[in-house]
Structure 1
Amino acid sequence: YLGLISLAYSAGFIQTPMVIANNWFIRRRARAMTVVGAAVTVGGTLITPLLAAAVTTWGWRWGAFWVGCVFLSVCVPLSLKVRRSPESIGLRPDGDPPANNIYIATSSHGHPALPQSAAPDVTATDALKTLAFWSLALSMLARVGTQSTMMVHFIPIMVWRGMTQEAGALLLSAFALLNLFFHFFLGWIADRVNKPRLLSLWMLPPMSAVLILSSGESAVALWLFAILFSTLDAAFPVTWATSGDFFGRKHFATIRGNMTFIYMWGSALGPVIAGYLYDQTQSYTAVLWGVLATLSVSALLTAFLIRPWDIKTAALRAETAPQVAG
């Protein structure tokens, strides 16, 4: 049962929507992926109370049954309307009009946008040989490990710093709301700047949050930690958009799957290691220093791609230059 649920969740709600967003958008890729990522959070927030009410009213078996029926009757018909790519129905990426098979629109900062012919479609095998693949995959490993560790241990850490469990739960709810805001904020910025540079700089707020948490116990310090650390999750859609910039659209699903196999170990091992360290020391101090180290590694790994990203996008813009109108 759990295996089927995990397969459906990964394929239907995580993997496939990001692939579709990558196929439909080039200039607005980060914003599109941000909307997809935020939809998971919003959906969970809206549906969880309804699911709880169904379980309370009918019991978990019938509650799950009727929720499944609603899902099949609503989501399946909607999914059948989704197309693999804009070209499959005679459109162009980013909603631009067809122009004799030449994609001549310009981006928001004046650079010519990428035509379909210029999109860097790298195969999954070739991607494994690149610095971009391993830098992105390992930086994701570090961030996912950090995010999973802090989420699993969030309330115990708050209690360790002097909060009650109830106050810690309230702080966790605020954390989720702030996380949604930062998703849209970062996605809006990412399509306008060098994405690897933005990702590296974006690690500074969560790193500052960990330093504040390690040295402060006041309510103000803990709330400041929650605000700053909630920025971390917003980096994930931008990472996938960066992957699309480097590797293109055709083989993105396979490349993303390969990256997922690497970074999933962070979510599996991070919370376990943190729990072991706490059991041995009865303190989260070592865990926080480890989190700070992994965030630093993540920032460094994405910094390696600042120059390659500029070179990649500059080459693509040069290819489109003769086709730009006006």
Structure 2
Amino acid sequence: MLTKAPLRRPTGVFYGWWVVAACAVINALGGGIHFYGFSVFFLPLKEDLQLTSAATALVFSLSRAEGAIEGPLAGYLIDRLGARVMLFAGASVVAVGYLLLSQTDSFLGFVLVYLLVISLAFNMSFGAATMAATTKWFVRRRSMALAVVTAAFGVGGAAVTPLLSLAVREWGWRSAAMIAGGAVAVLVLPASLLVRSSPESMGLRPDGDGGGAQGAQGHAEAEFTLTEAVHTLAFWLLAAATFLRIGVFGSLIVHFVPIMVWKGQDQASGAFLLAALAFLGIPLRLLFGWLGDRFYKPSLIALGLGMAAVALVILQYSQATWQLWLFVVVMAVSEGITVLNWATLGDFFGRRHFATIRGTMGLIFTWGMVILPVAAGFIFDRTQSYSLALWIFTALMVLGVLVWAILRPPRARARPQAT
């Protein structure tokens, strides 16, 4: 909801950048602990609870299925209640969830805590709320603002995930889970209080521009309701394109450390390579954010997915450590284009109903992270190899290149934002 206040002349640093900074801190912790961090917990949890690879990956996949189901509600609540409320509530529950996870001693307990506490709260807040808030604060510089916010996921993977891996190695996964919960409580809760849902709620305009007719004209953009959006071809193509990109990349993150172990590395080296992938994605996200404000975003994404297909072929034939590093470097391009996916959604359908539209689209694209990780785990359990899974991922990346290449914005009359 874009709540309006009397317009005032902007002074000092545009508050939208403070929102970006707060969202970056939130995503760094969320990315490092929940997204990249699952790969660090994968093998210790599997061994401690005596699970198969498919069963362990199933929990991750079910958390994404849960995210798909609750996505429309999460989006509606973010648009209705505001990002700050959802972030504070979600972070509080996630912190408690990791403390509970440290005490689980069965597969059922793992499933209940991870799905009904941690993932439920995370999916209702964190990435969904930070991207919605950032999208509403920027129009002209949307790609760069989102680049900073999403690059924080990479910062988390590069800085937080190795620390999490170190904690697992030194004190065990249970102590590491307790530390993770404490970090969320200490860092994310205060950061969430800095977030405001829109510039209009503070009497400002997107990008920090001044008021008047010229400012209003500068922010004329397409504004779709959910009903209008789902009746466009662009909505369904964007959902399919996102399914392919997010499904393959999410599956690689879940199985990254096990894949590196399969390739002859130890767990610590695998976690380090994962951190390197996240670290390399940081400058690439910023670069693609800058490019996305200047060039057609779907074409840039198609280029990035082409690089991802090449990277997967490199991984398939890797036999030496330097070849695994080459895979990481090339694959980092796919990590870098993430920002453009959500900037494209904002460009196509506008700011006002961004979270609701993204949440509804999640009913489609999130299933990529439900089906593919379990399929990869199933293949490994049956063959003791990730080779077939990697070939499937490569084919899906090539298909993704084609879908992103033909994607075009929906036709709609641009409407100035209300003043």
Structure-1-length-normalised TM-score: 0.80
Partner Cα separation in structure 1 for residue 266 and residue 178 of structure 2: 36
1:7 has 2:94 as partner: no
Partner of 2:186: 70
1:240 has 2:342 as partner: yes
Partner Cα separation in structure 2 for residue 97 and residue 154 of structure 1: 47
Change in CA separation of 1:180 and 1:69 when aligned onto 2, cut-off 3 Å? closer
Partner Cα separation in structure 1 for residue 205 and residue 329 of structure 2: 39
Tell me which amino acid in the other structure corresponds to 2:234.
A
Partner of 1:209: 311
1:31 has 2:144 as partner: yes
Change in CA separation of 1:143 and 1:194 when aligned onto 2, cut-off 3 Å? same
Measured against aligned partners, the alpha-carbon deviations of 1:210-248 in whole angstroms (never above 9, x if no partner) come to: 111223322222211111112222222211100111100
Partner Cα separation in structure 1 for residue 338 and residue 178 of structure 2: 36
1:6 counterpart SS class: helix
Partner of 1:266: 368
Partner Cα separation in structure 2 for residue 97 and residue 172 of structure 1: 43
Give ranges in structure 1 of 5+ residues lacking alignment: 105-113, 321-326
Q: CA RMSD in A?
A: 3.1
Aligned-residue offset at 1:162: 3.6
1:180 has 2:292 as partner: no
Give the fraction of aligned pairs with identical amino acids, expressed as a percent.
41
Tell me which amino acid in the other structure corresponds to 2:142.
R
Change in CA separation of 1:62 and 1:120 when aligned onto 2, cut-off 3 Å? closer
Partner Cα separation in structure 2 for residue 279 and residue 312 of structure 1: 47
Among 177, 187, 194, which residue is 2:296 paired with?
Answer: 194
Q: Matches of residues 303-318 of structure 1 in structure 2 within 5 Å?
A: 303-305=405-407, 308-309=408-409
Change in CA separation of 1:259 and 1:287 when aligned onto 2, cut-off 3 Å? same
1:102 has 2:214 as partner: yes
1:27 counterpart SS class: coil
Cα contact 2:154–2:281 (8 A) shared by 1: no
Q: How many residues align?
A: 298
Partner of 1:149: 251
Partner of 1:22: 135
Partner Cα separation in structure 2 for residue 91 and residue 274 of structure 1: 48
1:88 has 2:204 as partner: no
Aligned-residue offset at 1:43: 4.6
Change in CA separation of 1:259 and 1:155 when aligned onto 2, cut-off 3 Å? same
Among 285, 293, 296, which residue is 2:398 paired with?
Answer: 296
Among 260, 263, 271, which residue is 1:161 paired with?
Answer: 263
Aligned-residue offset at 1:209: 0.6
Give ranges in structure 2 of 5+ residues lacking alignment: 1-112
Partner Cα separation in structure 1 for residue 118 and residue 281 of structure 2: 25
1:115 has 2:231 as partner: no
1:84 counterpart SS class: coil
Tell me which amino acid in the other structure corresponds to 1:186.
F
Partner Cα separation in structure 1 for residue 179 and residue 248 of structure 2: 34
Runs of at least 4 residues off by over 6 Å:
59-62
Cα contact 1:13–1:40 (8 A) shared by 2: no
1:157 counterpart SS class: helix
Partner Cα separation in structure 2 for residue 293 and residue 61 of structure 1: 36
Tell me which amino acid in the other structure corresponds to 2:118.
I
Among 320, 328, 331, which residue is 1:218 paired with?
Answer: 320
Measured against aligned partners, the alpha-carbon deviations of 1:106-155 in whole angstroms (never above 9, x if no partner) come to: xxxxxxxx634x32111111211212111111111111221122122223
Partner of 1:108: none
1:42 has 2:144 as partner: no
Aligned-residue offset at 1:312: 5.7
Tell me which amino acid in the other structure corresponds to 1:33.
L
Partner Cα separation in structure 1 for residue 300 and residue 180 of structure 2: 42
Tell me which amino acid in the other structure corresponds to 1:103.
G
Partner Cα separation in structure 2 for residue 68 and residue 165 of structure 1: 25
Tell me which amino acid in the other structure corresponds to 2:370.
A
Partner Cα separation in structure 2 for residue 205 and residue 35 of structure 1: 22
Aligned-residue offset at 1:253: 0.9
Cα contact 2:155–2:278 (8 A) shared by 1: no
Partner Cα separation in structure 2 for residue 196 and residue 294 of structure 1: 17
Aligned-residue offset at 1:30: 1.1
Cα contact 2:244–2:397 (8 A) shared by 1: yes
Aligned-residue offset at 1:181: 2.2
Cα contact 2:159–2:275 (8 A) shared by 1: no
Aligned-residue offset at 1:295: 0.8
1:227 has 2:345 as partner: no
2:337 counterpart SS class: helix
Partner Cα separation in structure 2 for residue 15 and residue 86 of structure 1: 18
Structure-2-length-normalised TM-score: 0.63
